[in-house]
Amino acid sequence: MSVVVSDTSPLHYLILCGVDTVLARLFERVVIPPAVFAELQHSSTPLLVREWMRAMPGRTVAAQLLIPVIGTLGLLERAATHGWIDLPQSLERLRQTNARLDPTLIEAALQRYEVKSNRKSEDPT
Protein backbone atom coordinates (compact mmCIF):
# COMPACT_ATOMS: atom_id res chain seq x y z
CA MET A 1 0.00 0.00 0.00
CA SER A 2 1.39 3.39 -0.94
CA VAL A 3 0.79 6.08 1.66
CA VAL A 4 1.59 9.77 1.49
CA VAL A 5 1.46 12.34 4.26
CA SER A 6 0.63 15.70 2.77
CA ASP A 7 1.51 19.08 4.11
CA THR A 8 -0.36 22.27 3.27
CA SER A 9 1.34 23.41 0.08
CA PRO A 10 0.64 20.45 -2.23
CA LEU A 11 -3.01 20.30 -1.24
CA HIS A 12 -3.42 24.06 -1.39
CA TYR A 13 -1.99 24.37 -4.88
CA LEU A 14 -3.41 21.17 -6.32
CA ILE A 15 -6.87 22.35 -5.27
CA LEU A 16 -6.33 25.82 -6.73
CA CYS A 17 -5.10 24.24 -9.98
CA GLY A 18 -8.17 22.00 -10.17
CA VAL A 19 -6.14 18.78 -10.06
CA ASP A 20 -6.84 17.76 -6.46
CA THR A 21 -7.64 14.17 -7.48
CA VAL A 22 -4.05 13.35 -8.46
CA LEU A 23 -3.00 12.46 -4.92
CA ALA A 24 -5.77 9.88 -4.63
CA ARG A 25 -4.77 8.45 -7.99
CA LEU A 26 -1.07 8.32 -7.17
CA PHE A 27 -1.40 6.96 -3.65
CA GLU A 28 -3.71 4.46 -2.03
CA ARG A 29 -3.86 6.52 1.13
CA VAL A 30 -3.43 10.26 1.67
CA VAL A 31 -2.91 11.34 5.27
CA ILE A 32 -3.49 14.94 6.33
CA PRO A 33 -2.19 15.81 9.81
CA PRO A 34 -4.57 17.82 12.03
CA ALA A 35 -2.37 20.93 11.83
CA VAL A 36 -2.53 20.83 8.02
CA PHE A 37 -6.29 20.31 8.13
CA ALA A 38 -6.67 23.34 10.40
CA GLU A 39 -4.37 25.49 8.26
CA LEU A 40 -6.32 24.66 5.12
CA GLN A 41 -9.49 25.91 6.82
CA HIS A 42 -7.97 29.14 8.15
CA SER A 43 -9.73 32.38 7.16
CA SER A 44 -6.64 33.52 5.22
CA THR A 45 -6.79 30.39 3.05
CA PRO A 46 -8.40 30.95 -0.37
CA LEU A 47 -12.14 30.30 -0.39
CA LEU A 48 -11.85 27.51 -2.98
CA VAL A 49 -9.48 25.57 -0.71
CA ARG A 50 -11.67 26.09 2.37
CA GLU A 51 -14.73 24.89 0.44
CA TRP A 52 -12.82 21.80 -0.74
CA MET A 53 -11.85 21.03 2.85
CA ARG A 54 -15.45 21.42 4.04
CA ALA A 55 -16.68 19.07 1.33
CA MET A 56 -13.83 16.58 1.94
CA PRO A 57 -13.91 15.15 -1.60
CA GLY A 58 -11.62 12.34 -0.38
CA ARG A 59 -14.87 10.64 0.84
CA THR A 60 -16.55 11.18 -2.54
CA VAL A 61 -13.63 9.66 -4.42
CA ALA A 62 -13.55 6.69 -2.06
CA ALA A 63 -17.26 6.09 -2.56
CA GLN A 64 -16.83 6.24 -6.35
CA LEU A 65 -14.05 3.68 -6.08
CA LEU A 66 -16.22 1.52 -3.77
CA ILE A 67 -13.73 1.93 -0.94
CA PRO A 68 -15.48 1.77 2.44
CA VAL A 69 -15.32 5.02 4.39
CA ILE A 70 -15.84 5.34 8.11
CA GLY A 71 -15.55 8.50 10.13
CA THR A 72 -15.00 9.18 13.80
CA LEU A 73 -18.63 8.62 14.75
CA GLY A 74 -18.75 5.37 12.82
CA LEU A 75 -15.62 4.13 14.55
CA LEU A 76 -17.05 5.00 17.95
CA GLU A 77 -20.36 3.31 17.11
CA ARG A 78 -18.58 0.13 16.03
CA ALA A 79 -16.48 0.09 19.18
CA ALA A 80 -19.63 0.55 21.28
CA THR A 81 -21.36 -2.29 19.42
CA HIS A 82 -18.49 -4.55 20.49
CA GLY A 83 -18.87 -3.33 24.06
CA TRP A 84 -15.41 -1.77 24.08
CA ILE A 85 -16.55 1.75 24.96
CA ASP A 86 -19.52 3.58 26.41
CA LEU A 87 -20.81 5.57 23.43
CA PRO A 88 -22.61 8.38 25.27
CA GLN A 89 -19.58 8.96 27.49
CA SER A 90 -17.18 8.89 24.53
CA LEU A 91 -19.33 11.29 22.52
CA GLU A 92 -19.51 13.67 25.46
CA ARG A 93 -15.71 13.67 25.64
CA LEU A 94 -15.59 14.21 21.89
CA ARG A 95 -17.91 17.22 22.19
CA GLN A 96 -15.41 18.77 24.60
CA THR A 97 -12.65 18.72 21.97
CA ASN A 98 -12.28 20.89 18.89
CA ALA A 99 -13.69 18.12 16.66
CA ARG A 100 -16.02 19.55 14.06
CA LEU A 101 -19.02 17.27 14.05
CA ASP A 102 -22.58 18.01 13.11
CA PRO A 103 -24.69 17.84 16.30
CA THR A 104 -27.47 16.09 14.38
CA LEU A 105 -25.04 13.30 13.46
CA ILE A 106 -24.10 12.89 17.11
CA GLU A 107 -27.76 12.72 18.12
CA ALA A 108 -28.48 10.16 15.40
CA ALA A 109 -25.58 8.01 16.61
CA LEU A 110 -26.91 8.17 20.17
CA GLN A 111 -30.40 7.22 19.01
CA ARG A 112 -29.07 4.22 17.05
CA TYR A 113 -27.07 3.17 20.10
CA GLU A 114 -30.11 3.41 22.35
CA VAL A 115 -32.24 1.35 19.94
CA LYS A 116 -29.53 -1.34 19.76
CA SER A 117 -29.10 -1.31 23.54
CA ASN A 118 -32.85 -1.70 24.08
CA ARG A 119 -32.99 -4.62 21.64
CA LYS A 120 -30.17 -6.37 23.49
CA SER A 121 -31.84 -5.87 26.88
CA GLU A 122 -35.13 -7.27 25.51
CA ASP A 123 -33.42 -10.35 24.00
CA PRO A 124 -34.35 -13.35 26.23
CA THR A 125 -31.23 -15.34 25.26
What is the rounded average pLDDT of the residues 103-116?
90
- Please report the pLDDT score of residue 9 as a whole number: 86
Nearest-angstrom CA–CA distance, 60 and 56:
8
Phi and psi at residue 31, in whole multiples of 5°? -105, 130
Q: What are the pLDDT digits (tens) for 28-49?
A: 888 888 888 888 888 999 999 8
Average pLDDT over residues 89-110: 83
Question: According to the model, what pLDDT value does residue 121 have?
Answer: 67
- Using alpha carbons only, what angle is made at residue 82 by residues 92 and 123, rounded to the nearest 5 degrees? 105
DSSP letter for each residue of 102-124? -HHHHHHHHHHHHHHHHHHHH--
C-alpha 9: how far from chain center? 21
